[in-house]
Structure 1
Amino acid sequence: MTQTRQPVGVEEVRRRVRELLAAHDPATTDRLEFLRARFDAGLAWVHFPPGLGGLGVPRELQTIVDAELEAAGAPDNDPRRIGIGLGMAAPTILQFGTGEQKQRFLRPLWTGEEVWCQLFSEPGAGSDLASAGTRAIREGDEWRVTGQKVWTSSAHNARWAILVTRSDPDVPKHLGMTYFICDMTAPGVEVRPLRQITGEAEFNEVFLTDVRIPDSLRLGDVGDGWRVAQATLMNERVAIGGRPMPREGGMIGAVAGTWRTHPAQRTAATHDRLIQLWVESEALRLAGIRLRQQLAAGTPGPDGSAMKLSFARLAQQLSGLELEFLGEVGLRYDDWTLRRPDRVDFFGREPGYRYLRAKGNSIEGGTSEILRNIISERVLGLPSEPRVDKDVPWKDLPR
């Protein structure tokens, strides 16, 4: 007689947290050992399947796990350093990867043992990703890949990359793409820094010259790379714009803190603008909670584009207000030395850094212009713009 598996509820999740803490005391357990044990206990991504870092339960139960482990002093996996892996590579591998790929990559990705980057944009194919020209030619059980990628965050620290290529140049551009996992230590991979207006080089350009990628590292079917890439991008926009945030967290918290510590520079006008942006930030935070609740019932959709668009706009308005509020003091900058950081830290630097770095928010993760098109066409149902691939109906394009 087949037994029905009982669903895992809140109390069961809490029991598993207690068992993890009892067997691996955070005060005496090596950080990496604890993170591995947490993954194996299904407490990394509780909504992932059992055996892959999860328990197969609603993702909202993750907040219970995170809160209890934080209260116990348990280490985290430094999510800002491995955000591309967590927010983009992991859900894509889960949806399109083989069983072997999931077993090989998800655990070291979550523990931070292996950093990931994203090889999507090219010098001539940024917003129009479907125009990517990096060529992948099949040669037996391998693919030979040649091309250039740009604006690649963390490529200088990455062990692996998610990679979009052009595998068939003779079909409409959306239909001739194939998606791979790329070994960033493979021969032919060259990473060069791109210095930004902040003085740092967290971005890179990556040159791929006859890089050999085994077919076993392909994600999805040959020619189906556009659909796989769309899944990545939807998750990316949720990861950027819909991340959990406490009340007055993020940029609004930094700007409100500056306001409170500089009473002599307050004016009625800046106070009114701050209050307006505070309200908008709170509305965005609540919308993020709603979006994550919707995600519990399915995969990300185009709604995440609105979250990311709003996040970028607010970050730029808030950082601009902070600089204006501080006057000449806000124009001071601490260090223009070329650095290659392993994470973006908006709050460990001065207001000038926040202002300059926020300029990139409307470009990375999908430009604001493209996101407005997605919202208008796929959320509001407005007519689409004319496309180059007129021989392929919009409804027939892979999504």
Structure 2
Amino acid sequence: MSVSGITSKPLPIPGSPKPGIGYFIREWWGSYPVTQLAVLIGLIGIFWVMGSNMVQTMHRLGIQPGFAFLSQSANFAIGESLIAYLPSDTFGRAAIVGLLNTIAIAVSGCFLATLLGVSLGIARLSGNMLLSGLVRWYIEIIRNTPLLLQLFFWSAVTHALPAPRQAFNPIGILYLSNRGVSIPALRLHELSLTTLAISGVCIAAIFAFYMVRRKRGIQHGITEFSAMGLLAVLGIGLALRLSGASVALELPLLRGFNIAGGFNLTPEFAALLIGLVVNSSATIAEIVRSGIQSVPSGQWESARSLGLQPGRIMRLVILPQALRVIVPLMTSSYLDLTKNSSLAVAIGFPDLVSVLNTTANQSGQALEALAIIVLSYLALNLSVSAVMNKYNKRIEQRGFLPR
């Protein structure tokens, strides 16, 4: 039946029996139910036989299946760790060290690749032919060479840097040597749980204030965000002052034959981070370029007619509309960067794959180690997808996406 060209489903006849459970099962199962059931039973049988043979082989080799090995002593060292670790610690703690190293690479890589990629994407559309041409060649070279080859190149570069006494010191607080990259670091002294609690309360109060104003429909500009950030910093500073804790900026200094102080990024970490950032930035640059070009040219003309400068047009008019194209593709780039971090094993950085590979060799629990790797990367990628999907939905709610 149609009314004014609108087609609707036929209404059910009053008093007619409702579809039973068999109907819904047939709808869910689809056509050829017998064939599908046979294939499903066959797959279950194959996995059952493979699993049984694997368990029998492990028993024959004296290996007990399960994850009890995580509480055993690892007896191997890890060259770089964000938390305290000793060879006498357990396999479980070693796995946590590798996971934290992977997270550190993924988070810092996504952040830096975004900054570099957005800059390159905008420069790719520059009217300056020299700049646009250089960016184009950069993108073509990076995107058409294997990532593993790029990592080997950056690893060779970082290890070919001069010794600490002849280290490059371009800006006075940054040292580049064959022992890594030394940068300034913030050091907390006499930090206590009270300080953390007071700081957490300050941040939570400001966040609650922001959410209340947002629910009331109050828009927040750069001034409001700056004020809230300043209040958070003052609150944390007051908490540090009252508890007797202190924060100091520690600069790297050349002492003897080494560089002391600050925060040191090992050559392996630096090579992996640079390689992932450079590789992902080329893809992100193309995503940003296509997103900007998807905005109708009339938007540029309208913004110019209002007297806006090119920089403000890009920031206030073009990029917010280009996000409808950029954000979904950016999610894919972040997922690729996170997964590509597993190539760290090729240049000697102790990420999750490298640590659990050593764990499997030491304990013989290869299947369990592989399961931990799969579940860990699955959790990381799902987390990245959830954050980006939430951000994409937030953009849609602001009206940047067409409805």
After TM superposition, the score normalised by the length of structure 1 is: 0.24
Q: Which structure dedicates a bigger proportion of its chain to helix? A: 2
Bigger RCO (CA 8 Å, 6+ sep):
2
